[in-house]
């Protein structure tokens, strides 16, 4: 099962909104096939695993054990049900890490296999498998997107200087990592001031994979039309207090002033299949998620060689133990997981 999880990770940034899944077929302690879900809309892990079996080993399939990191699907989506293929190949035993929370599956795949006389074992490395697909599980079990907070700060704790100029904090190598993070999330969110001051494209340019859907909070529609993100032809969603409208790839979504923005954001994302959001700033927007206790991970990049002296203070996370830390050139990256999220997975 460890190998299944290792294979599944190859799908990061390519399979969403589907989960990352890996599968391994074993005959008498010998791996005869393995595969993973490689691309959204493409064959699932079980299919790729079975297809990888050599012609010389095909006769061994019925007497083999299939290990899979998530319950095989039982419904017709973009591809046929994997449970049907397993039954068709007469595989006698299946080991599943965890059940699929998606309503169209959610135990039905396991039930189909057992009804066909296949021995099914579940719960092997269950926590690790759920952790791998924490966005998928959060979306289908909590009915909201998985929230990752990310910011860069100086060594003395500032996210921006006192001037109007953009403060470059992260090292070029760290920027590549940030673009990898972007490729792995469904959407990216910033506020008005960050959009105006930094004029970011919010795309993934330094890593393989897709760019996230761009979300901007601009309550009074103050953003100028000449921003980079408005000129590249990719979708942008503007949350505002003025109007609902669609102008090409630019969508305006009206929010109610008497309701929590974060709650409205979660409803919109759930209704539109947005499973995760990377919140990149600014400080006020980031702090609002912290104060509302509505976040799952925080990734804080500190340039250990940069001192600003004065400016805009970075957000503050209290009483949350760090779970991982590493360096990237001059940058120290500290990773945090919300205690409730850690308990859930």
> Domain span at residue 203?
141-344
Assign residue 113 the CATH number of its domain.
3.40.140.10
State whether 287 and 164 are in the same domain.
yes
pLDDT tens-digit map of 31-74 = 999 999 999 999 999 999 999 999 999 999 999 999 999 999 98
State whether 185 and 218 are in the same domain.
yes
State whether 62 and 153 are in the same domain.
no
The alpha carbon of residue 141 and the mean position of all alpha carbons in its chain are separated, in whole angstroms, by 15
State whether 77 and 160 are in the same domain.
no
Residues 240 and 220: beta-carbon distance below 8 Å: yes
- Cβ neighbours of residue 251 under 8 Å, at least 6 residues apart? 235, 236, 237, 238, 245
Residues 115 and 87: beta-carbon distance below 8 Å: no
Instruction: Kindly list the distances between the CA atom of residue 53 and the CA atoms of 6, 69, 71, in Å, as whole numbers in the listed order.
Output: 19, 19, 21
- Cβ neighbours of residue 174 under 8 Å, at least 6 residues apart? 152, 301, 328, 329, 331, 333
* Total tally of structural domains belonging to the chain: 2
In angstroms, the CA 189 to CA 202 distance is 9
State whether 94 and 156 are in the same domain.
no
pLDDT tens-digit map of 280-307 = 989 999 999 999 999 999 999 999 999 9
Q: Which of 34, 46, 71, 193 is catalytic?
A: 46
State whether 81 and 179 are in the same domain.
no
State whether 164 and 81 are in the same domain.
no
State whether 194 and 292 are in the same domain.
yes
Residue 126 has pLDDT above 90, yes or no: yes
Beta bridge partners of 26: 31, 65
Residue 21 has pLDDT above 70, yes or no: yes
In angstroms, the CA 222 to CA 227 distance is 11
Assign residue 267 the CATH number of its domain.
3.40.430.10
Residues 325 and 304: beta-carbon distance below 8 Å: no
Q: Is 103 a catalytic residue?
A: no
Residue 345 has pLDDT above 70, yes or no: no
Q: Which of 15, 77, 89, 2 is nearest to 46 (CA)?
A: 89
Residue 77 has pLDDT above 80, yes or no: no
In angstroms, the CA 194 to CA 12 distance is 28
Domain end position, chosen among 84, 115, 132: 132
Residue with tokens 């046929």: 80
């Amino acid at each position: 099962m460890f190998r299944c999880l290792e294979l599944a990770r190859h799908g990061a940034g390519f399979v969403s909104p589907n989960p990352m899944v890996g599968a391994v077929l074993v005959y008498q302690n010998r791996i005869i096939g393995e595969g993973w879900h490689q691309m959204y809309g493409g064959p699932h892990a079980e299919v790729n695993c079975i297809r990888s079996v050599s012609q010389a080993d095909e006769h061994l399939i019925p007497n083999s054990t299939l290990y899979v990191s998530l319950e095989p699907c039982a419904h017709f989506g973009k591809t046929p049900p994997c449970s049907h293929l397993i039954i068709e190949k007469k595989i006698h035993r299946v080991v599943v890490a965890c059940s699929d929370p998606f309503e169209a599956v959610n135990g039905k795949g396991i039930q189909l296999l057992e009804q066909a006389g296949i021995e099914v074992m579940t719960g092997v490395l269950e926590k690790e498998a759920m952790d791998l697909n924490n966005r998928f599980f959060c979306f289908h079990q909590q009915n909201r997107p998985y929230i990752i907070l990310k910011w860069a700060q100086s060594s003395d704790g500032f996210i921006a200087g006192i001037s109007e100029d953009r403060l470059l904090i992260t090292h070029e190598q760290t920027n590549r990592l940030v673009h990898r993070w972007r490729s792995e999330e469904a959407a990216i969110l910033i506020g008005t001031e960050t959009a105006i001051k930094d004029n970011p494209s919010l795309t993934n340019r330094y890593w393989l994979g897709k760019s996230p859907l761009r979300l901007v909070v601009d309550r009074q529609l103050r953003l100028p039309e000449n921003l980079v993100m408005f000129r590249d032809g990719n979708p942008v969603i503007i949350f505002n207090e003025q109007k609902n409208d669609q102008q090409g790839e630019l969508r305006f979504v009206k929010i109610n002033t008497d309701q929590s923005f974060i709650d409205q954001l979660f409803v919109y994302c759930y209704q539109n299949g947005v499973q995760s959001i990377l919140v990149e700033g600014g400080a006020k927007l980031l702090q609002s998620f912290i104060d509302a206790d509505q976040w799952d991970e925080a990734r804080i990049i500190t340039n250990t060689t940069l001192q600003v002296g004065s400016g805009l203070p970075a957000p503050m996370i209290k009483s949350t133990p760090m779970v991982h830390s590493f360096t990237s050139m001059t940058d120290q990256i500290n990773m945090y997981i919300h205690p409730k999220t850690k308990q859930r997975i």
